[in-house]
Each structure stands twice: as C-alpha cells, then as structure tokens.
Chains A and B, each alone.
Chain A
Amino acid sequence: MSLLVARDLSVSASIGGETLPVLQSLCFSLAPGKILGLVGESGAGKSMLGLTIAQMLPPGFACSSGSLSFGGEDLIAMPAVKRRALLGRDIAFIPQEPLSALNPVLTIGQQIGEHLARLGLATAAERKARALALFDSVHLPQGEQLLDRYPHQISGGMCQRVLIAMAFAGKPRLVIADEPTTALDVTIQARIVRLIVDMQKRNHTAVVFITHDLRLATHICDDILVLYAGRPVEYGPARRLFSAPAHPYTRCLQLASPSMRGERRALLALPERMPGLRAWKDLRGCAFAPRCPVAIAGCSQAPPALAETAPGHRAACIRSAETGGIVAPPPTAVAPAGEHQPVLQAQRLCKTFAIGGLFRRMRFSALRDVSFELRRNEFLGIVGESGSGKTTLARLLVGLETPSQGRIRFATEVSDTRRQRRSEIQLVFQDPQSALNPRRRVGTIVTQSLEAEGTATPAARAERARELLREIGLAPEMAARFPAQLSGGQKQRVNIARALCASPKILVADEIVSGLDVSVQAQLLDLLIALRRQRPFSMIFISHDLSVVRYLCDRVLVMYRGEIVESGATGEVFAAPKHPYTRALLAAMPPDDPSAAWAPALFESDAGSAP
C-alpha cells in the first residue's frame, strides 16, 4: 500500500499571458518507510513537488492535471482546512536554508514549543520534556541551554538538526527534504544525511529527498526519479538506476562528476545547458535531444513516453539501449606538471582579526603559520570547510589584506602596489552574480585591466575582448550583452576572462564551481584544463569539493582552523590520508560505487569539538 502516489501530475504556470508547463506527467509511488530521491539540475522543477503538496506554489502556478494522493486522499482536491491539519503533523518539511526557516527573534525553545503545542502537547512542562527528548534523538547536546538560544547563536548544522527534530516531532508519515544539506559544510552534510536516514528508519517514515547529487541519492534512496526540464526522464530502484542507467541524461550526469577513486578519467561535459522554462513549451520531442550524445532524428519528433526497460525501471527514451555505450572522452594529455621553480612562496603567514566593539575586544586568528610554495604551471588545490581560512588566505595572496606576520614572495620582485601585482596574480570570485557589474557590458568587463592601464584604444579593447571571449568559449557577440543576460556558467566564464586579461602568472580561484550544476561544472573544469594547455599559468584552486580538486589539481593543501594540516600530491593525499581531518573529509564523500557501504560519522554528543 503506497503512501504518496502521483498520477500524471502536471503543474503549469501562467506568466505574462502564456501558460508554461512546469512539471509534466509526474508518476511515482512511495511506500511507507521508503525514500524517494528526486534528482535534477537547478531549474528542472524538483522543488515544485514539495510546493504542490504544501499548496505554496508561487502566484500564477497551479496544478493543471493529474492527481496526488496521500494515504488514499487527494491532496490537490482536498479543502484547505483539511490540508492544513495534515501539514506539520502527517506531512513535515525539512527546508534548504535552516537559518532562514527559523524565526530570528524567537528562541529555539519558543519555536519548538509552538510547534509541539500545535501537535497537542498542552502543558509547558510536557513540551519541554518532549523538546529535550527530541534534541537527544538528533544528538544535540545541552538541550536545556539550547532552548534559550536564538537561531543566530548556533551553527547552521545545529539549526538544521533543530528543524529535523521538529519535522519528526509529530511522527509524520511523510517528510519532504528539499536539498537539506546544500547550505552546509561537507562533513556536516554527510552527518545530516545520515541523521535523516536514521530518523526515517526509526520512525518508519516515508521521505521524499530532493537533491542535485545523483551519487548521494543512490546511497540513501530506495527509488530515484530523475527530472529534466520539468519532465520525468527516468524512474527506478536507486542502485539499478545508478549502475545501469537507461536514460542518456542520467548516464551523462554520472560521467560529468569527477570520481574519487581509480584512474583520473576525463569528464563528459555536455554541450549547452538545460533549456529555460520559457522554452519548454516549444520542445516538440525529447527535451534532452539537443544535448544528447546518442540522439537520432526521431528524438526530436515526438516526446518519448516513460517505458519500462526492466521490471520497475522506466525511462523516457527511444535510445535506451544505446545508453550504456556512452563513455567519457578519452583522457586528455595532462599538461606537464609543475616545474620546480616556485612562482610564489608564502612564508609563515599569520592573520589575526580583532572582532567586537569598544569593550570585550577579541582577537580571532584566521590563519596560523601557513607556509607553502606554488610552482610554475602548477595547479594547487586548497580544501577545507568554511572557517578554515581558505578565503582569508586567498585575500592575503592577492593583496586585499595584509598579513599580520610572515611574507609572500613572488618569483619576480613586485612592490605592494596593486598596479604591479595585476600582471602577477589575479583573483576569480566565487559568486559571478556579485562579481560582474550589472551595468557594464561583457566586452568592457573582460577588458577592465586594459582600462586600468589606460593606454588601449577602444578598437584595441574590442579586439582583445573578442580574443578573450573566444579563449573562454563564448561567442564574440556576447561582448555586447549585459551580465543579467547570461547564464550562471557563462557569467563564471566572463569572470575568468576578466582575470586572464592582464595575463597573470597566477590565478587564485575561490570556489568558482561550487554554485554550478554538474554539467556546467564539468564544462568549466575542462575550460581551465584547456586554458592551461594554451598558456601556462599557475593556479590556486580553493574548493570544498574533494573530487573536483582531485580532478584538476597536481598538489593539495588541507586546511583546518587556519592551519595546513596535510599537503602533498593530490593522488597520494586522497589515497592515503594521514591527518584525521583529511580522513573525515574523505569519509564524508559518498563513494562512487553504489553498492559500497557509506556510513559517515554520526554527530558525537559533544559536537563542535575536533572531528
């Protein structure tokens, strides 16, 4: 007996007089005690399901056909009063942004108390006892004190655990978790996922787990539904779907993310990107056909139906049989690794910040005694979680901050003026949205360093802009566009081009692929490798994603609380980590092999201390 059943569920939006399909013919069934993974890139329509269940769709969006039944009752046709009674009690949500889901002006105790009162706990004493029991179940220590805290006083991971406790408080039959870990650090992410799975097992709850990470979904879900452009493209048992994908898109997603074990293989970077919502209406055939490596003429004729390829495994593809034949391109010859000549040396760098006001001034040590060298034409990865000092280090290197102690030496002697550092070292920013001036055209953004020199003629600038755009794989016409007219991946390319314009010897890239979808990430990583072949340069690549660092970098530094705890050749460090923190980071990554056991550490009761 299934708990949640969707039959041909479609959601459409009317925007500017047009009716656009947002979700098309979604079919699935979820049994009690099972986990369904909803996987897709951003903008694929993953979050629409949760919003449909809660009837919190944005204005203009409505369920246009099909049914969604919960325990035999139709959620769509249900009167609002009845649905409200279900939500929070029988159906609970775990949100994406734990900090914005909690009210900042109420204490944790007030918020959880309010929720428990709604669940029928009449007296304050009862509610408190229950809250403490719940905190215990999510391994939150010192529950008594936590009740009096405000959300901003505790970490994001703790907030998410409070929300998980609240979600499971009423012993719900269904929990919708919408990317519950994206805003958190890698090691915390793994623990949160483990916690959700544990709670689910203990309470025999059904969970809809929405994520963009196919590998993660494979490890924790029973079934997976892959969405592309609002359409279900593949649906089946998780392990089977991962080991024998029947839709080319699923296969391409797998091949686009770098692996953590075995030989370093090239990535399959899909061309283009998923069409935007407005284009979905005009798609005649399979939405994936324009990017599909095995597409034939028939693919763009009519939309393929979701057909069974094996018992319980369905895919919407007429070329299912060919999917297994999609392989990653042959490994490209890696550019010769760094020569031994150092281009940059950091010597015992320390950075201390003074925080607090006039009274109670505190000193906070962001970097402690950091020494390393970067060699010519070497890609050096820096990994660590937020607060480990990665970004502070980047800002010191490019000269945005001055070190409290220690010094940075470049191969060629440069004075401290930025003008002279410009051709030596450049920074590529994390958030392309914020890094590009929305009022400038792409052409002037990428040639800003010529503008700073002040010698180039407009014609020379335009020529250089065309050249740079070609190098980073954008059409020359893009020069006339504004950043708002570009996609996230294109913006990040422009961001890289601007840093390259002054032909610096060193690029510092701070989490430049972290906000992007897997297929766009693969394109950018390949771009960096291609650039390295064309023009030798060294790069410091900061990331929290170990697999990306493993794919791209020759050497790696592991940072923890402002110190370098381990360093060495990427392959060696990841194959045989020596420091416990490196081991914890590696253990937090879901393994490539779907049948391998993955048991990230649980939260210790004294969470917050060293792992």
Chain B
Amino acid sequence: MTRIPQWMMSARVLAGLSVAALICLAALFAPLLAPHDPNEQTLTSILLPPAWLPGGQADFPLGTDSLGRCVLSRLLYGARIAMTVALLSSFGAMVLGAVLAHVAGYFGGAVDWLIGRVVDIWMSFPPVILALIFMVGLGPGLRNVILSIILVDWTRFCRVLRSEVLIVTRRDYVTAARLLGFSHWRIIAREIAPATTPLLITLASLEMGIAVIVEAILSFVGLSVTADTPAWGQMIADARLSIYQSSWNLVFPVLAIFVTVFAFNILGDGLRRTLDVRLAEAQRA
C-alpha cells in the first residue's frame, strides 16, 4: 500500500494544507522570524507605512502601529494564538461532539432524545454571544478562549455526525458485531467510528476556520488573551482607532485572518470531496 492516498491528490487539499502548514511554521518560528519584539514600542516611528511605500522603513517591513510596534512581528506572534486556538479548540469540539454524537446515534432512545434537545437549545443561542458569555464567566486567557469555543461549537459536530452514526449503525455489520458479543464501546470504536472519521476530519478542518474567526472576534472586543499577547483581533481593534491615518494597519491582520480561514475552508472542501464515501462511491459506480 505505497500508493499516495487519494485525498493527497486533490488540488484543494494540497493548497489548503500547504498554506495552513506555512502559517503554522511562521507561528512556530515567530521568535526567529520576527524582526522585533512584538511589544517593543518605538514611539519615534509610529504609523509607518509598509517598507515599499514612500516613508516606509526597511526595518519595519509591514510598517508600525499607533504605538510604534512592528506589524510584521505582531502578525507572526498573533499567528501563534490563532493557530493554537484553531487546532486545540477544533480538536476539543470534535472530541466532545463526536463522543456525544456516537452515544446518541448508537444507543438511540432517551439518550438520543436528551442529547438532541441539548443541541437544539445550545444552537438557539447566537454562537458569538454564547462565546462572549462564557468568556465573561471564565475570565480572559488563552485557555478559556479555547474552552469557550469548544463549549460553543461541539454542537456542530454533534448534529451532523449523529445522522451519520445513525446510518452506519443500521448496517448489518454492526448488528453482526453485536451478535458476536462485542461490547458497545468496542463496536463504536472499531466498527462505527472508522466509518464516520472522514466526515469528522472534514468538519474539524472547517471548524478550524471558524475558531480563528471566533478568536479574532473575542480579542477584538478585548475578551480574549491579555493585552500583552499580540492577537489578530486585537490588532484590528487597535488599527480601528487610526483607520484614517493608516489603513494598512487594518489591512494586514484582516488579510491574515482571511488567508487562514480560506485555507482551512478549501482544505475542508477538498477533504469532503475525496473522503466522503457516498460521493466517492457515486463516482466509482
């Protein structure tokens, strides 16, 4: 089995994956790549335009903000927050949502009803407002941002996966495993979960994009990480005040969010196209 798996051949997956990997690397090596300390203020050169524009300095490739901090350095360090939140919170939401979805879909009955109603109630709240409420309750900090995104977004996984679990559970091979005397958990882990994993992976990559946006919103309103940690949402909030003097400050963090989310979305779309069993089967037939 040395063949390259089919999902690696998709242009969307490759594009999305390589952009996401680049951003991850930039975040990982931010201390090496960044020309300045992200919090170092050079009050003599505030609101500089990017280096290639008149008035720009080679020392600050993407210019400086209203406090004279290097925009490039802050973007690189901000990627650390964005990527940490994207990876951990989507993973957490995936685990929580998937476990509940499998329990609901497999056991059915009262458990299914209960989980279904909780999801209904949960999804009736506007997600960002719910995240804000959690942040107010939990207090600021990276860990709490991740936690609140998990607590808000597990429902996306739960609802979509549950119907998939229902379909797989009705397959005869699941009944066969029950007849052979496997335990419920073993059946879920060995027979059902492998069939739902492709969908799970697809949903997780889409969720990463959503998590980046939610984190940006939270840090925009100042409810995410503390002010001494650079985050993209914070940069937008800061740039908002000097939007008429220097629009560049706004453009770069927005662009960073856009590129990241776009990468995760085309990755998710590509994975869906190649991993979705039903689509793949229809093409083969």
Q: State the A residues within 8 Å of B (CB).
A: 398-400, 417-419, 421-422, 426-427, 429-431, 434-439, 448-449, 451-452, 498, 502
Bound CA span A429–B171, Å: 10
Q: Closest 10 interchain pairs by CB?
A: A435-B172, A419-B181, A429-B172, A437-B173, A434-B172, A452-B180, A418-B181, A452-B181, A449-B180, A439-B194
A-contact 0/1 string along B147-181, CB 8 Å cutoff: 00000000000000000000000011101111111
Contact A422 B180 (CB under 8 A): yes
Name the B residues within 8 Å of A435 (CB-CB): 171-173, 176
Contact B178 A434 (CB under 8 A): no
B191 at the interface (CB under 8 A from A): yes
B125 at the interface (CB under 8 A from A): no
- List 6 interface pairs A-B (beta carbons < 8 Å), by A numbering: A398-B179, A422-B180, A427-B175, A434-B171, A434-B172, A437-B195
Contact A434 B173 (CB under 8 A): yes
Name the B residues within 8 Å of A448 (CB-CB): 176-177, 180, 182
Bound CA span A398–B172, Å: 14
Name the A residues within 8 Å of B175 (CB-CB): 400, 427, 429
Count of residues in B whose CB is under 8 Å from the partner chain:
14
List the A residue with the shortest CB-CB distance to B182: A452
Bound CA span A451–B171, Å: 20
A419, A430, A439: the one contacting B195 at CB < 8 Å is A439
Bound CA span A435–B171, Å: 7
A427-B176 contact in complex given A437-B191, A439-B194, C-beta closer than 8 Å: yes
Instruction: Name the distance in Å between B282's Cβ and chain A's nearest Cβ.
Output: 12
List the B residue with the shortest CB-CB distance to A398: B179
Query: Known contacts A422-B179, A429-B172; can you find 20 more A-B pairs with CB under 8 A?
Result: A400-B179, A421-B179, A421-B181, A427-B176, A429-B176, A430-B172, A431-B172, A435-B173, A436-B173, A438-B195, A439-B195, A448-B177, A448-B180, A448-B182, A449-B181, A451-B180, A452-B177, A452-B180, A452-B182, A498-B176
Name the A residues within 8 Å of B195 (CB-CB): 437-439
Q: State the B residues within 8 Å of A (CB).
A: 171-173, 175-182, 191, 194-195
Contact A427 B173 (CB under 8 A): no
List the A residue with the shortest CB-CB distance to B176: A435
Bound CA span A398–B178, Å: 11
Instruction: Name the distance in Å between A91's Cβ and chain B's nearest Cβ.
Output: 27
Name the B residues within 8 Å of A452 (CB-CB): 177, 180-182
Name the B residues within 8 Å of A430 (CB-CB): 172
A418-B179 contact in complex given A437-B191, A439-B194, C-beta closer than 8 Å: yes
Bound CA span A399–B175, Å: 11
Name the B residues within 8 Å of A417 (CB-CB): 181
Bound CA span A399–B180, Å: 11
Instruction: Name the distance in Å between A57's Cβ and chain B's nearest Cβ.
Output: 15
List the A residue with the shortest CB-CB distance to B177: A448
Contact B173 A426 (CB under 8 A): no
Instruction: Name the distance in Å between B40's Cβ and chain A's nearest Cβ.
Output: 53
Name the A residues within 8 Å of B191 (CB-CB): 437
Bound CA span A430–B178, Å: 16
Instruction: Name the distance in Å between A598's Cβ and chain B's nearest Cβ.
Output: 36
Name the B residues within 8 Å of A498 (CB-CB): 176, 180
A422, A436, A437, A438: the one contacting B181 at CB < 8 Å is A422
A399-B173 contact in complex given A439-B194, A439-B195, C-beta closer than 8 Å: no
List the B residue with the shortest CB-CB distance to A483: B173
Name the A residues within 8 Å of B176 (CB-CB): 427, 429, 435, 448, 498
Bound CA span A426–B177, Å: 11
Name the B residues within 8 Å of A427 (CB-CB): 175-176, 179
Instruction: Name the distance in Å between B35's Cβ and chain A's nearest Cβ.
Output: 50
Contact B172 A399 (CB under 8 A): no
Bound CA span A305–B211, Å: 69
Contact A502 B171 (CB under 8 A): no
Instruction: Name the distance in Å between B190's Cβ and chain A's nearest Cβ.
Output: 8
Name the B residues within 8 Å of A421 (CB-CB): 179, 181
Name the A residues within 8 Å of B173 (CB-CB): 434-437
Contact A502 B172 (CB under 8 A): no
Name the B residues within 8 Å of A502 (CB-CB): 180
List the B residue with the shortest CB-CB distance to A430: B172
Bound CA span A581–B36, Å: 90
A400-B171 contact in complex given A437-B191, A439-B195, C-beta closer than 8 Å: no
A418, A438, A451: the one contacting B178 at CB < 8 Å is A418
Most buried by A among B171, B173, B177, B191: B173
Instruction: Name the distance in Å between A61's Cβ and chain B's nearest Cβ.
Output: 14
Bound CA span A398–B177, Å: 13
Bound CA span A418–B176, Å: 11
A426-B179 contact in complex given A439-B194, A439-B195, C-beta closer than 8 Å: yes
Bound CA span A417–B182, Å: 11
Contact B178 A400 (CB under 8 A): yes
Bound CA span A19–B176, Å: 41
Instruction: Name the distance in Å between A515's Cβ and chain B's nearest Cβ.
Output: 13
List the B residue with the shortest CB-CB distance to A395: B175
Instruction: Name the distance in Å between B214's Cβ and chain A's nearest Cβ.
Output: 34
Instruction: Name the distance in Å between A511's Cβ and chain B's nearest Cβ.
Output: 12
Instruction: Name the distance in Å between A397's Cβ and chain B's nearest Cβ.
Output: 11
Instruction: Name the distance in Å between B81's Cβ and chain A's nearest Cβ.
Output: 37
Instruction: Name the distance in Å between B107's Cβ and chain A's nearest Cβ.
Output: 15
Instruction: Name the distance in Å between B240's Cβ and chain A's nearest Cβ.
Output: 51
Name the B residues within 8 Å of A451 (CB-CB): 180, 182
